[in-house]
Homo-oligomer: A and B are copies of this chain.
Amino acid sequence: MTANPSPLALSNQLCFAFYSVSHAFSRAYRQFLDPLGLTYPQYVVLLVLWEQDELTVKEIGDRLFLDSGTLTPLLKRLENAGHIRRARDKKDERQVRISLTETGRALREKAEEIPKQVGCVLGLPVDELRALTEQVAKLRGRLHESASP
């Protein structure tokens, strides 16, 4: 794979790099998330809610590029764990609004150490991390555009 010399396979290389690094990241986070009883996708949903509470399922999905097929069962698990509440919006009964419980809000402090610890193993200067993040987000944007023209 990584030894393929063909320049035509370049997007294959890049795609696989992202595919494998995202799993590697997920594994790296797991050692810190396991003690909290969270998976990485659940953690990301909580990150969103810690930043802005009372979002609807759709709003969470827009931020994370996930649909209700993924989010509904995930949110139910977070609800069963006692971290969030799910309630139909009174003004628009189609929507389900997600709110943090006290437990869910409290989890934030413990979770705040995680990115620091993971960041250590990356061994890259902050500005490089920032540049890389931007570059990757830009690629994601292009892929999304081309998917829904």
A residues in contact (CB < 8 Å) with B: 1-4, 7-29, 31, 40, 44, 47-48, 51, 63-65, 112, 114-116, 118-119, 121-124, 126, 129-130, 132-133, 135-137, 139-140, 142-147
Contact = CB atoms under 8 A, between A and B. Distances in A.
Contacts of A44: 1, 16, 19
A127 to B, nearest CB: 10
B51 A1 contact: yes
Nearest to A19: B22
Q: Majority SS of interface residues in chain A? A: helix
A112 B2 CA distance: 16
Nearest to A30: B147
A16 B20 CA distance: 14
A122 B142 contact: yes
A137 B1 contact: no
B123 A142 contact: yes
6 contacts: A4-B47, A8-B116, A11-B118, A17-B137, A21-B137, A27-B147
